[in-house]
Amino acid sequence: MGKAKFCGEELEAAIKRLPQGKPQMDAYWNAVRQADEAGDPYWRMMFRCRYCYEATFRDDPPKAIPVAAEFCALFEENSEAFIERSPDGASEMHLMIMQMGIDPIVFLPQIPMKQWETMMAEFYHWVKYYHIGLRTYWWQMARFWRYVDRKKAYEYFQKFWKTGRDGLSDCRTCERSYAVQMELLMGNRAAADEYAKPMEQGRMRFCPDTPHLYWLAYLEDALDRGDLREAEKRANALYRKGNRDKSDLSYIGAVLRCWAYTDPERALEVFAKRLEWSIGLWDQKKVYDFDKGACVLFQRLSKHQQTVHLELPQAFPLWREDGAYSTKELANWFREQAETISRRFDERNGSHCFGHDLAVALAKR
C-alpha cells in the first residue's frame, strides 16, 4: 500500500480529540514533521501555531521559542499561503507567534538581555508595519523591565494603558490583572484595588488565565507584608483555580509559601504531588517560584519536625527509596536552587530584584 496522503484538516481534527497539554503538544510536533515532509506551506505554519499555543498556555512556554522562530521564517517566505487561507487574521497571527517566542525570554536567565532587545526591535518593526500591536509592545517592555528597573517598567505600563486596544490585545481581565500587578509592585494598593474592583465584583468575564493572575499578585503582596489573613484567603482561592498543569507552577509555589504558615500538612501533600512539574522545566521563573515556596515550607517544618515521609519522583536529585527525608536537608537544597536561579536572573538583568524577593520570602516571621 502507498503512503497515506497528507490531510491537515483530518490530522488537526484528530489532535483536538486528545487531552490538552502534553498529549496535544506531542501530536502537534509530529504533525509539524508530517506537514514538512508533505511540503504543505499552510499546515507547516498552522501546526507550529498550535504547538506554540499549547506550550504557552498549558505546558512550558520557553518550548515555543524555537518553533515560533521557525514559524516566522516560514511566514516571511510563504505569507501568501497563510493569507489565502486566513485572510482576516494573518497579521495578528504573525505578531502573536512572534510574541510567544519573545515572552518566555523574560524567564530564561541564560539568554542575554541584548538578544531580547534585538527581538523586541524586530517585533516593533512588524507592529509599525501592520499598524496593530503597539499596546502589546508596551506591555512586553513593562513585563521585562519590572525585573530590571521598576520605575522604568511603570512608565512602560502607563504607555501600555494609555494606548488603544486592538486585535492583538489580551483580554480585558488579563490587562486589568497586569495593572493590579504593576500598582502593587509600586506600592499603590488603592490604585490596585480600583483596577481590581470590577473583577472582584464579578462584573467582568474571566478568561482561562484569570482571576488567577491578579489573585497571585495580591497573594504575594500579602505574604511580603506578613498579612497571613489576606494571604490565606487568596491562597485557598488560587489553589482551587490554579492547579491544572505545569503552567500553573508559580501559583503552586505561592500557595506553598502561604500554607507553610497556615496549613503545613496540606502544603506537604501539594508539594509531593506537584514536585514532578518542576523537574526539567525550561521556565526558570516557575521553577524559582516553586523552589522558593518549598524552601519556606521545609524551613518552617524543620523547626519542629526532623523527618517527613513522602513519595517523590525518582528524578528528584534527593530521592530516597525509603521515602524518609530530612526537613533541614530539603530546606537547604531548595534554598540553594532558588538562590542559584535568582543570582542568574539578577546577573542577566543587572539588578537585585530576585535576590531581594528571595530574602523577603525567607525572612523569619
Model pLDDT, residue 8: 95
Asked whether residue 242 carries a pLDDT value surpassing 60, the answer given is yes
Residue 19 and residue 28: Cα distance in Å, rounded?
Answer: 12
**Got the DSSP string for 280-301?**
T-S-HHHHHHHHHHHHHHHHHH
Model pLDDT, residue 122: 97
Asked whether residue 202 carries a pLDDT value surpassing 50, the answer given is yes
Residue 90 and residue 155: Cα distance in Å, rounded?
Answer: 31
Q: Which residues of 193-224 are buried (b: 16+ CB within 10 A; e: fewer)?
A: eebbeebeeeebebeebbbbbbbbbbbbbbbe
Of the pLDDT bands very low, low, confident and very high (cuts 50, 70, 90), residue 1 is very low
Q: Output the nine-digit C-alpha cell for 20.
A: 490538552
Model pLDDT, residue 209: 86
Asked whether residue 271 carries a pLDDT value surpassing 80, the answer given is yes
Model pLDDT, residue 365: 60
Model pLDDT, residue 88: 75
Under DSSP, the state recorded for 247 is: G
Residue 97 and residue 99: Cα distance in Å, rounded?
Answer: 5
Taking residues 154-160, what's their average pLDDT? 99
Strand-strand pairing, 307-309 and 324-326 = antiparallel
Q: Output the nine-digit C-alpha cell for 117.
A: 532587545
Q: Output the nine-digit C-alpha cell for 18.
A: 486528545
Residue 105 and residue 108: Cα distance in Å, rounded?
Answer: 5
Peptide bond into 211 cis (omega under 30): yes
Do 180 and 218 form a contact (C-beta atoms < 8 A)? yes
Largest CA distance in the chain: 71
Taking residues 305-332, what's their average pLDDT? 98
Q: Output the nine-digit C-alpha cell for 239.
A: 489553589
Residue 308 forms beta bridges with which residues? 325
Q: Where exactly are the structural domains of the chain?
A: 8-131, 243-365
Do 66 and 100 form a contact (C-beta atoms < 8 A)? no
Measured distance between the N- and C-terminal CA atoms of the chain, rounded to whole angstroms = 71
Phi, psi of 111 (to 5 degrees): -90, 120
Model pLDDT, residue 161: 99
Q: Output the nine-digit C-alpha cell for 90.
A: 494573518
Model pLDDT, residue 219: 99
Of the pLDDT bands very low, low, confident and very high (cuts 50, 70, 90), residue 17 is very high
Residue 289 and residue 187: Cα distance in Å, rounded?
Answer: 21
Q: Output the nine-digit C-alpha cell for 55.
A: 506550550
